[in-house]
Amino acid sequence: MSDSGAAVATLSVRSRGQWLAVVARQRELSLVAIMIVLGGLVTLTAPQFLTVSNLSQVAVLAALIAVAAVGEALVVITRNVDLSVEATMGLVAYCVASLLERHALGTTGAIAFGLGLGLVLGMVNGIVVTVFRVPAIVATLGTLSIFRGIDYLVAGSHQVPLASLPDGFTNPARDSVLGIPIFVLVALGIVVIGSAVLRSTRFGRQLYAVGSNPEAAAILGIPSRLVVFTAFSVCGLLAGVAGVLYVMEFGTINGTSATGLVLAVVAAVVVGGVNIFGGSGTLVGAALGALFLGFIANALILVGLSQFWLQAIYGLVILLAVSADAIIVRRIQRATAARRVR
Amino acid sequence: MTDGVADLATMPTLRADLRGISKRFGATQALDDVSLTLVPGEIHGLVGENGAGKSTLVKILAGIHQPDNGTIALDGEPVEIAGPAQARALGIAVVHQEPRLFPDLTVAENVFIGHAPSGRLGTIDWSATRRSAARLFDQLDVQFDVGAPVRGLSMADQQLIEIAKSLSVDARVLILDEPTASLSAHEVERLFAIVRRLRDRGVAVLFVSHRLDEVFALCDRATVFRDGRHVVTTSTGELTTADLVRHMVGRAVSLFPKVETPIGELLLEVEGLTRAGEFRDISFSVRRGEIVGLAGLVGAGRTEVARVLFGIDRRDGGEIRLGGHAVSFATPSEAMDAGIAYLPEDRHQEGLVLDFSIAQNVTLPILPRLFPRLLVRASTERRVADEYTRQFDVRMTGVDQIVGALSGGNQQKVVLAKWLASKPRVLILDEPTRGIDIGAKVEVHRIISELAASGLGIVLISSDLPEVLAMSDRILVLHEGRLTAEIPRARATEERVMFAATGNLEPVAAGDQTSGAADV
């Protein structure tokens, strides 16, 4: 009698633990579900929400953030963080715009320079963190300021106007292929390639291992520092890509371009279900997180709320996502612990 | 009573009675119906092997754990100790092996943390705090600059600050948990003088120690625990070291004994291995098919030796030879490439990535070898994981199951599978059966025995004496970083190992040991 009671208890604990695990793993699905529900509500008050032009505008802006968020996600999975992404984007954007204005390297050359610059800035972060052993949050707060300072110095009070860019340079921000905006295709491509790398390469496996259990990774002979360095480098490269997209999107670039975007990038990563303490999360989640934030920003405008709400809402969303994660993780641990004691 | 500090001479006394205390953690009965009385003006020694239940008892008195059964009475009044703050309020203070002080605060601030004398307006009266602290140290008869920060003070000084702290809250029951582990002989003497002074003023002292000579030197009475049970309490005057050791050992556990295997050629030789502050001059060898037990009490340096052998820490001196060639590892991956595998003591902290599946864990150390082209193929991974987990009979739903959901014994089997997949020649096992149930334990023993039979050389670090005795061809005993005995299987008894592990030499003058054992 008591035996069967215990068996029932075990069963229910197990199913509850698994149910929570499913919710935790399916952050992507929950995000999509929330967006559909919210979208329905917004459409009721503002019918123009559900139009092709509005939705593609949301998607294009979200794609720009998503590209940077994918890089940020790589870093966060290793138990680090890169706060300098917005400065990298800004510096790359100004340099690319300025090169184009002066017809210095040609269009392809300017873009290549921008991507290379992003990679180098990412490598600088990686070196400071892995060689000089500065905690990432401090290191990248420092480089955030340094990269932005260089941006100010290079740009001075100069602003590259849209008209100085070559004809058609900003077209990718508006054009579509088969009805899908080019920016979205770029972001999709990066997410697909990145996800494949994480799923089926040694590097991907080691990236998660380093973030999940650094002590074990050390004993297993995983080259942790190389893995972390690579994550920062790729993050810089992708911030460079986002910087180039920024020029195409906005056209008019000065020394303060892309200021304040780091909050959106980190929020996208966290909302997308990447554990801020490392070790778990997906790139699809990070990209969907970016879409979710873009969606909220757009909904606010359409519903008639002030843009000034946006900053506060991003912060609130970060706190909600992180505390939800913490609660779910604790529940799962309790459920599995109960299951282990037989 | 000025400055809120009681004069030691006028302090009230407190008698603590523990009756029938039991405590269970999962499958482990840590304490089983033990009783103990702490009398004012007496130093009571508590000894026992690793895992005997000493620290559980200390934690119950400190309010960190609550007993499942039994009563605690102070001066005859039954009490419940719900937390550390309440333990302090009741007059019980614990000085832990590692002092828990705030390094950036001053000595005086540390002593009075949480209960500093307050001035008008409820602000902290710093000059009164410093005066009171200075007075406490005067009573202990030691000199201290109470305005200096704690950072940089020796372990011994930090322990004295802990003692002063317990006096500042009028502790009348003082528990010292392995306080001498990191003290020099001179510092131990100073500590003992202070403890005796406190005893003479009516404090009831519980002294927990591995060092039997210290128990004899300091304690009036001693209690021995074994396997969570109370064995004996008697006056130290009526005991000899041999009696005490006999009481500590003698556990009966059913085991899977090692299968006789022909011992082959030399695999690993260690000569004069030294790492400053951890161990000195360690020499031994391991042959094919041989299990070498590494016994010793917690903190003897066993894990530290293993970490150097596996390239996690650097050595300061000595030589390691593998298959006759001198080797030197800068990282664990170099050690792995050379054929050494190390199963760490703490499988959660260092052994497994709990978020990963079984298959992903098994292949983690051999990714570069398994997938030289960077791409990871899931089918190969599953096949390799299947092969090694099948050998060990891991209870799982499949190799895709997340490791965190397995029981302790099965997790340990996954760790073993993982290291064997790296095809080592020498396997170092650090406490391979700690915290797993008896059934899984027997299986792990069978696996270890089979591995030795298949030609591996095995170093088995274990605090479980019967396990070491049953599994090892030879037993090396470490005491405080030095090798104190090397005992062949035929001559190994629990008493011999325990004597060496507590820093004593042979209990019986066997003729092949140096003198110095005669006085015990």
CATH of the domain at B138: 3.40.50.300
Chain B residues in contact with A203 by the CB 8 A cut-off are 374
**Same domain as B217, residue B336:** no
d(CA B416, CA B424): 11
| Contacts with A279 from chain B: Cβ below 8 Å | 353, 355
Residue B306: list chain A partners with CB under 8 A.
none
Q: Give chain B positions within 8 Å (CB) of A342.
A: 407
Q: Which residues of A touch B367 (CB under 8 A)?
A: 202, 205-206
Asked if the structure places residue B324 within a domain, the reply is yes
- Residue pairs between chains A and B whose CB atoms are closer than 8 Å: 79
- Shared domain for B356 and B461, answered yes or no, is yes
Quick one: B161 and B107 in the same domain? yes
Contact state of B356 with A336 under an 8 Å Cβ cutoff: no
Among A205, A225, A331, A332, most B C-beta atoms within 10 A, so best to mutate, is: A205
What's the Rg (C-alpha) of chain B? 26
Q: What does the pLDDT read at residue B348?
A: 66
- Give the helix/strand (H/E) hosting A147: helix A136-155
Q: What's the pLDDT tens digit per position in B158-173?
A: 888 988 888 888 889 9
**Inter-residue contact A290 to A49 (CB < 8 Å):** no
C-alpha to C-alpha distance for B223 and B494, rounded to whole angstroms: 19
Helix ranges, B268-363 (H) = 302-309, 332-338, 358-363
Extended strands (E) in B48-203: 69-74, 77-79, 92-95, 173-177
Q: Do B332 and A219 touch (CB under 8 A)?
A: yes
Residue B25 DSSP SS3: strand
Q: Which residues of chain B have pLDDT under 50?
A: 1-4, 508-520
Are B179 and B282 contained in the same domain? no
Min Cα separation B290/chain A (Å): 24
Contacts of B405 in chain A (CB under 8 A): 336, 339-340
Residues of A in contact with B407 (CB under 8 A): 340, 342
Distance in Å, alpha carbon of A89 to nearest chain B alpha carbon:
30
Q: How far is CA B132 from the centre of its chain?
A: 36
Who contacts B225 (Cβ-Cβ below 8 Å, separation ≥6)? B34, B46, B47, B48, B52, B53, B54, B57, B231
Contact A200 B376 (CB under 8 A): yes
**Chain centroid to CA A293:** 11
Q: Could you tell me the pLDDT band of residue A22, with boundaries at 50, 70 and 90?
A: low
Q: Where are the domains of chain A?
A: 27-326
What local confidence, expressed as pLDDT, does residue A19 receive? 54
State whether B368 and A208 contact (CB < 8 Å).
no
Which of B25, B342, B350 to mutate against chain A (most A CBs within 10 Å)? B350
pLDDT digits (tens, 9 = 90+) for A262-315: 999 999 999 998 988 888 889 999 999 999 999 888 888 888 887 778 878 888
CB neighbours of A34 closer than 8 A, spacing ≥ 6? A292
Q: Which two tokens stand for residue A27?
A: 């952050």
pLDDT value for A304: 82
- Nearest CB to B355: which of A223, A280, A339? A280
The pLDDT assigned to B349 comes to 66
What are B471's two structure tokens? 């599994």
Smallest CA–CA distance, residue A18 to chain B, in Å, is: 10
B230 and B295 inside one domain: no
Q: Is residue B517 part of a domain?
A: no
Q: Are B405 and B319 within one domain?
A: yes
B193 conformational bin, left if phi > 0, alpha if psi -120 to 50, beta if neither: alpha
Q: The tokens 């090397």 sit on which residue?
A: B486
Asked if B332's CB is within 8 angstroms of A221's CB, the reply is: yes
Give how far Cα B210 sits from Cα of B38, B98, B373, B502, Å: 19, 15, 53, 7
pLDDT at B1: 40
Note whether B392 and B449 are same-domain residues: yes
Contact between B17 and B70 (Cβ < 8 Å): no
Tell me the C-alpha distance between B407 and B396, whole Å.
10
Residue of A nearest to B418 (CA): A220
* A216–B349 CB contact, under 8 Å: yes
Query: Helices marked H in B201-346 — which ranges?
Result: 212-218, 241-248, 302-309, 332-338
Tally of structural domains, chain B = 2
Structure tokens at A77: 């999975």
Contact between B405 and A336 using a beta-carbon 8 Å cutoff: yes
Is B249 inside any structural domain? Answer: no
From the candidates A15, A340, A341, which should be mutated to test the interface with B, based on the most B CB atoms within 10 A? A340
- In this structure, what token pair is assigned to residue B467? 């396990």
Q: Across residues A111-126, what is the average pLDDT?
A: 97
Could you tell me the strand order of the sheet in which B317-322 lies? B279-287, B266-275, B317-322, B325-327
Nearest CA distance, B351 vs chain A (angstrom): 5
pLDDT band, very low/low/confident/very high, at A50 (cuts 50, 70, 90): confident
Q: What is the pLDDT of residue B352?
A: 83
A122: helix, coil or strand? Answer: helix
Question: Which distant-in-sequence residues (6+ apart) come within 8 Å of B65 by Cβ?
Answer: B23, B56, B59
Mark whether B154 and B63 lie in a shared domain: yes
Task: Mark out chain A residues that contact chain B at CB-CB < 8 A.
Answer: 200-206, 208-209, 212-213, 215-223, 279-280, 336, 339-342
Q: Which residues constitute the domain of residue B343?
A: 266-501
B408 and chain A in contact, CB less than 8 A: yes
Establish if B127 belongs to a structural domain. Answer: yes
Residues B133 and B220 in one domain: yes
pLDDT of res. A231: 97
| CATH label, A27-326, candidates 3.90.1570, 1.10.10, 1.10.287, 1.10.3470 | 1.10.3470
The DSSP secondary-structure symbol of A132 reads S
Q: What pLDDT score was predicted for residue A334?
A: 67
Closest to A222 in 3D by CA, of A200, A205, A201, A234: A205
Task: Work out the average pLDDT over A54-62.
Answer: 91
Same domain, B185 and B46: yes
Distance from C-alpha of B405 to C-alpha of B99, rounded to nearest angstrom: 35
B283 lies in the same domain as B235: no
Q: pLDDT for A71-107, tens place per residue?
A: 999 999 999 999 999 999 999 999 999 999 998 888 9
Yes or no: say if B23 and B56 are a contact pair by the CB < 8 Å rule.
Answer: yes
Looking at the fold, whether B150 and B280 belong to one and the same domain comes out as no
pTM (whole model) above 0.90: no
Backbone Cα Rg of chain A: 22
Distance from the B26 Cα atom to the nearest Cα atom in chain A, whole angstroms: 6
Cβ–Cβ below 8 Å for A340 and B408: yes
Which chain B residues contact residue A205 at CB under 8 A?
A: 360, 364, 367, 376
What local confidence, expressed as pLDDT, does residue B513 receive? 41
The percent helix, strand, coil of chain B (3-state, each to 5) is 35, 25, 40
Residue A340: per-residue pLDDT: 46
* Per-residue model confidence (pLDDT) at position B398: 84
Q: List CB contacts (< 8 A) between A280 and chain B.
A: 355
Could you tell me if B350 lies within 8 Å of chain A, comparing CB atoms?
A: yes
φ, ψ of residue B291 in degrees (nearest 5): -110, 120
- Average pLDDT in the A230-251 region? 96
Q: Judge: A206–B367 Cβ closer than 8 Å, yes or no.
A: yes
Q: Of A205, A216, A341, which is closest to B367 when you measure between CB atoms?
A: A205
